[in-house]
Structure 1
Amino acid sequence: MGREIPVKPASEVIKLSVTEKSHPFGGALYQVRPMDLASYGYVEEEYLLSGDAKIYTWPEGQKYAGIEREGAKYTTRFLIRKPADPAKFSGTVVVEMFNWARGYDRAIALWGNCHKYMMREGDAWVGVSVRANVIDNLRKFDEERYGRLSYENPIPKEHRLDRSQSNTYHDDYTDPDRENGLTWDMYSQLGMLFKEQSERNPLYGYSVKAVVGTGATAGDLATYVAAVDPVSCREDGSPIYDGYLIFMTGAPGNVNQYEEKLHHLDERCKFYGKVPLMRVYTCRDMLGGGMHPDWAYMQRRNDSNEAGNYYRSYEIAGTGLMLKYTYYTEPSHEDVEKMGLKIVNGRTWKAWSEEDLATFEFPTRYALDAALDNLKKWILDGTNPPSTKPYETEQVYPATVLSMDELGNVKGGMRLPYLEVPAYHFKTDATASPLEPEILAKLYNGKEDYVEKVKNSVQSCLEKKLLIKEDADAIIQEAENCTFWNK
């Protein structure tokens, strides 16, 4: 464990109003598919959060981050969705770092996948803007609403290090006049806010039992958990966050604007959590050369229930990047275009077509629902979550490839009924295609046989805690309604 230093609380929390002319970017009513939270018994609020942040440094050979500079100012914004009735609150707050890769906020980790589960449970969800590129675009979207947002680099230009040859400097998302390293203390102060006994806490009057950090944000949350969380605590010495679920991505990224991100073979990539830590991976996170060339395969470590060295890893068989299911909870096309984002970071921005959306994809949300459910039990009552096997691989680094079965599906990993009782070829880009009729005929003696095998597999997953009941029921219903044998 590192030498923990109490983090100062945020200096200011301001609630933003909603009017006919001004609304939250990414608000539930302004998603691709608008969501009426009131019908779930939920309300949504938006706040500005301001404070003083430290700039950290994490040189090679140093296990945890150290302090390079203090007193840097920031202002960001966050959304919160919570039960309207405090009596229906579960006690769990999920604080999600928004993904920023397209230049605007997307909740592609847990809200995008697990919103139905969280609202059934009565959890509160928080989404926070964590990168300067998004903050600048939010100001373009609504200057009056977001004009105070700032991640300004506190180091005067004449004193900044020359990183013109570094991979950080040439990162498309890096602006030398901004400092993304302000994120770490901001994220600490946000987590602390929900444990405050004060009226500025958006959950004041709610009984908070656990604050969970999550995100699918390149290496940001991995950086926080590996480098900053071990040296940070609340004023009473207790943890700021009670557990973490990191979805996708591999190695920690940059701790500040100037230092290089960790190489994927750096031993610091194999970090454990001082509080319960889960990593949930897709097939496309494991190797190099793709959209996530992080080589998470090289960062594997054993699952652990040891206090202060917690870890659980789930490598979901059958899934990949670019999930269509989360698209419906992304900000509306109209609001994205108000930012001027026809082109985002050199890539054309376009929506999924109706044809795309109609095709089947692996329901990653079921694996994430189970992971979050197990994480909460790990935190709240000490119930150790299940372990699963990793993906099977062939050859050695850097020529490693995933092992595939005769259907083209990955071997090993966290296997839900879709892999154990297959009806699809699942590709590592998250797309799927139905098995050919002649293959189905070899695997199953008609529809009744297929449905019975699905039910048996579902029961096995329930017993192993790899599914929650609602998702198990949905898988069985899907099998009973399938039309494979009608062709």
Structure 2
Amino acid sequence: MEFAALTAGAGHSLMSATPGPDLAARGYVETEYSARGEVDGLTAAGPAPRAGFTTRVLVRRPTDPAAFSGTLVVEWLNVSSGADAAPEYTYLAEEVVRAGHAWAGVSAQYTGVQGGEAAVGIADAAGGLAAKDPARYAGMHHPGDAYCYDLFAAVARGLRDGPLTDLPVRTLLAVGESQSAMALTTYAVSFAAVHDVFDGFLIHSRSIAGLPLGPVGGPADLAAAFDGPPTTFPDIGKPVFVVQTETDVLTDFRSHLARQPDTDTVRTWEVAGCSHADLAQIGPFEEILGCPDPVNRGQQRCVLRAALRHLDAWARGGAAPPTAPPLTVVGPDEDPVFALDEVGNVRGGVRTPCVDVPTRVLSGVVTDPVSRICALFGTTTPLPDDVLAARYTSPAAYLAAYAEAADAAIAAGFVLPEDRDELLAEATPEVLSSAS
């Protein structure tokens, strides 16, 4: 594996609506590399001939090796917009930098390098990386998604002796959200044990099935990941941590059909009041989506940070993460719905203060979405004044209950103590003034 720093052109091309932590101020440096090598391929029809690739990897790491935790978090970059994005970094960045981890985003799929059609209708990157910035990305080449699984593993393995040779990497964690989670589902089931590269997996917002094996010279068929059959995880000897939102459990993701019991190597959290994507992802650009209702304002980012910390400890031989009940689903398997509480929030699952001490209904299921992207971003609906007045005698009483719920989530292991202030800052006592 050959790595070379990319310094020409306009800087890295990686979609993000929110900037994340100030890396320089936190003692981090960011460098983008080309990664060149050869890998084997596998299609649904069988093995594909060995092929060469030149892809890109973006690395964010502590400047001082002494500040490094020993953990490298490798994200399978998401291509659902028609170009690479790093949604999991957006959720996890605060925990990554405060823990001293290194992070690397890998352009693992054909569409991320060569360009292609957007699955969510918000971008058109048909020209690929070289078309975006030929000075920086000339020579990039992906041989097709028949090779994406071996490519991802090869780049991750090579980082130890390439760009991160001065960091003592002891734990390698693979993470990915949405389409990338579907790819990691397939990877964990079919490739992980053979490759023996990663020490653990954080699979966030998967569908009923994994991403299928792709072709030579083209992208994998994302639609097949929504059609089943249900995919569950065997014991691969490494921890697999699945985190799901309301959108992922129902809607066309239908992961409720792929539920499996927790084991010594598999853990699943389903998070109440959260959607496939949310305000944390879109930040100040919410209006660009064109959704008729405010997008979901759930607190899954805090839950995901806790999940990463649990996974890191688990992969190092520590205790498995705490268990959580699933979201409560009622009705027939072919057309289920969530069981809702008295204000309209879902019952069961991992609980956070915004659903246990609510001033809003937070949903991951949009009953009449105007677009695919709005279906993914969920909704936030304020509770009526009379409901608020009946639930809370005063803003002070609300704040006390909210703080108690935050402490309960921390005690249960679903939120980290370091995020308590962030949770408390999201309390909304101001809405009670008009309700009193």
1:318·1:419 contact (CA, 8 Å) conserved in 2? yes
Number of residue pairs aligned between Structure 1 and Structure 2: 401
Which one-letter code corresponds to 2:193 in the other structure? P
1:191 paired to 2:125: no
1:356–1:408 Cα change, 3 Å? closer
1:264·1:295 contact (CA, 8 Å) conserved in 2? no
Distance in 2 of aligned mates of 1:352 and 1:265: 29
1:33·1:328 contact (CA, 8 Å) conserved in 2? no
1:84 matched to which residue of 2?
A: 63
2:272 matched to which residue of 1?
A: 317
1:210 paired to 2:188: no
Distance in 1 of aligned mates of 2:312 and 2:105: 18
Distance in 1 of aligned mates of 2:387 and 2:355: 15
2:333 matched to which residue of 1?
A: 397
1:253–1:360 Cα change, 3 Å? closer
1:435 paired to 2:383: yes
2:122 matched to which residue of 1?
A: none
Q: Secondary structure of 1:127's match?
A: strand
Q: CA RMSD in A?
A: 2.7
Taking structure 2 as the reference length, what is the TM-score of the superposition? Answer: 0.85
1:58·1:227 contact (CA, 8 Å) conserved in 2? no
1:54 paired to 2:40: yes
2:136 matched to which residue of 1?
A: 145
1:457–1:328 Cα change, 3 Å? closer
Distance in 1 of aligned mates of 2:406 and 2:102: 29
1:267–1:360 Cα change, 3 Å? closer
Q: Secondary structure of 2:307's match?
A: helix
**Identity of matched residues, %:** 26
2:232·2:260 contact (CA, 8 Å) conserved in 1? no
1:100·1:217 contact (CA, 8 Å) conserved in 2? no
Q: Secondary structure of 2:415's match?
A: coil
Distance in 1 of aligned mates of 2:48 and 2:290: 47
TM-superposed deviation, 1:360 = 6.8
27, 46, 50: which one aligns with 1:71: 50
Q: Secondary structure of 2:323's match?
A: coil
Q: Secondary structure of 1:38's match?
A: coil
Q: Secondary structure of 1:304's match?
A: coil
Task: Note the residue ranges of structure 1 that are not aligned, 5 or more in a row.
Answer: 1-9, 60-66, 153-178, 233-238, 334-348
1:55·1:256 contact (CA, 8 Å) conserved in 2? no
Distance in 2 of aligned mates of 1:31 and 1:105: 13
1:287·1:296 contact (CA, 8 Å) conserved in 2? yes
TM-superposed deviation, 1:45 = 0.5
2:324 matched to which residue of 1?
A: 388
Distance in 2 of aligned mates of 1:477 and 1:194: 38
Residue correspondence of structure 1 range 201-350 to structure 2 within 5 A: 201-218=162-179, 219-232=182-195, 239-250=196-207, 251-257=209-215, 261=224, 264-266=227-229, 268-288=231-251, 293-305=252-264, 310-328=265-283
TM-superposed deviation, 1:269 = 3.6
1:43 paired to 2:4: no
1:478–1:35 Cα change, 3 Å? closer
1:93 matched to which residue of 2?
A: 72
Which one-letter code corresponds to 2:142 in the other structure? Y
Q: Secondary structure of 1:37's match?
A: coil
1:104 paired to 2:69: no
Taking structure 1 as the reference length, what is the TM-score of the superposition? Answer: 0.76
Distance in 2 of aligned mates of 1:149 and 1:360: 37
1:277·1:311 contact (CA, 8 Å) conserved in 2? yes
Q: Secondary structure of 2:243's match?
A: strand
Distance in 2 of aligned mates of 1:49 and 1:129: 10
2:13 matched to which residue of 1?
A: 25
1:282·1:320 contact (CA, 8 Å) conserved in 2? yes
Q: Secondary structure of 2:206's match?
A: coil
Higher RCO structure (Cα 8 Å, ≥6 apart): 1
Which one-letter code corresponds to 2:6 in the other structure? L
1:264·1:299 contact (CA, 8 Å) conserved in 2? no
1:424 paired to 2:360: yes
Residue correspondence of structure 1 range 355-374 to structure 2 within 5 A: 361-374=297-310
Determine which structure has more spread, i.e. the larger CA radius of gyration. 1
1:369–1:36 Cα change, 3 Å? closer
1:42–1:453 Cα change, 3 Å? same
1:466–1:102 Cα change, 3 Å? same
Distance in 2 of aligned mates of 1:17 and 1:356: 42
TM-superposed deviation, 1:34 = 8.1
1:68–1:412 Cα change, 3 Å? same
2:71·2:102 contact (CA, 8 Å) conserved in 1? yes
Task: Note the residue ranges of structure 2 that are not aligned, 5 or more in a row.
Answer: 115-127, 365-376
